[in-house]
Amino acid sequence: MVPPGTWSAERVLEALRDWAREVGRPPFAYEWSPGHSHSAGRSARVWELWAREYPRWPEARTVAHYHRTFRAALLVAGLPGGRPPLELGLNERMEAARRMAAVGFSADAIGEEIGVHAETVRRYLRAHVCGCERNWVVRSTRCGQCAREQAALAGPLRWDRAGVIAALRRWEGFEGSAPRSDEWLGGRHASGRWAREYPAWPSNATVVGLFGSWNRALRAAGLAIKPYAYTDEEVLRALRSDAERLGRAPTGEEWRQRPLNVPGVGAVNTHFGSWNC
């Protein structure tokens, strides 16, 4: 227990600057949040420095008490308050969310800190540990690692139209909406649930190959189709506009970050077969 009067607004700022000097970057709020949630087989390396030297550093809620929010304190201290690296794994995001919730942070504040929507945070807080005790499970009965291992034992899946339709409907059941074509990209572009649970889901190329287009597959499955579509010329015009703005051709990774109401990687793949075409 830290004695009353230990911290003040200025002492909190100096602690933030001290951490940045020692670690080489500002702290994230979840790193300064004591917590006791199940780690699902992951090491606690993210939290070790703060815990080892506490009370040299204040708790995240103490920082917020003196400066309204953790990010506001970083700004007053003259430190950048950007989000953590996107490669933070699901188990680590889950642990971060649960630690921050345990000390009173709202879902909105947690989402801002770890880079996800508040509703995603709420799902994290309702999650459970898989029966294998290696990973957290958010919206399924088993973790992605178990799903991949079971699929490997069963051998490769051979997709047909009926199987793809069932997969599309199953995805909507998990995610609450039909999948976008760029969510089912394979190879180095794979991400999210699709990557975690592959080969439980067919690839974008498999779907388009069987139905001729992504929207035809959604229509066959009785799922909602996006209220907009693009012509070849609209997609090409968007690519040229980006190339002029950037002074070079845009990358596929850059186009995966585009808003949903403009052409993205999925539109390029649907109209031209692949990004490089």
Of all residues in the chain, the percent with pLDDT exceeding 90 is 14
Average pLDDT over residues 58-74: 88
pLDDT 10s digits, 125-136:
998 888 878 888
- Side-chain half-sphere CA neighbours of 66 within 13 A: 21
DSSP structure class, residue 136: E
98 burial class (0-12, 13-18, 19+ CB within 10 angstroms)? buried
Pick from 84, 26, 19, 79: which is nearest to 53 by CA?
19
Read off the pLDDT band of 270 (50, 70, 90).
low
pLDDT 10s digits, 109-161:
888 777 788 898 899 999 888 887 888 888 777 787 777 766 665 545 688 99
Q: Radius of gyration (Cα) for the chain, nearest Å?
A: 23
- Residue 43 is predicted with a pLDDT of 47
- Residue 86 is predicted with a pLDDT of 47
216 burial class (0-12, 13-18, 19+ CB within 10 angstroms)? middle
pLDDT 10s digits, 163-191:
999 999 999 888 888 898 878 887 666 77
Pick from 138, 141, 132: which is nearest to 175 by CA?
138
- Residue 40 is predicted with a pLDDT of 58
Flag whether pLDDT at 99 surpasses 50: yes
Read off the pLDDT band of 247 (50, 70, 90).
confident
Flag whether pLDDT at 222 surpasses 70: yes
Report how far residue 123's alpha carbon sits from residue 161's, in angstroms, rounded to the nearest whole number: 32
State the amino acid at position 232 in one-letter form: D
Flag whether pLDDT at 70 surpasses 80: yes
Query: Picking from 30-39, 96-105, 118-127, 156-165, which range would have the lowest pLDDT averaged per residue?
Result: 30-39
Contacts of 226 (CB under 8 A, 6+ apart): 180, 215, 260
- Residue 218 is predicted with a pLDDT of 92
- Residue 139 is predicted with a pLDDT of 77
Read off the pLDDT band of 277 (50, 70, 90).
low
Average pLDDT over residues 70-89: 73
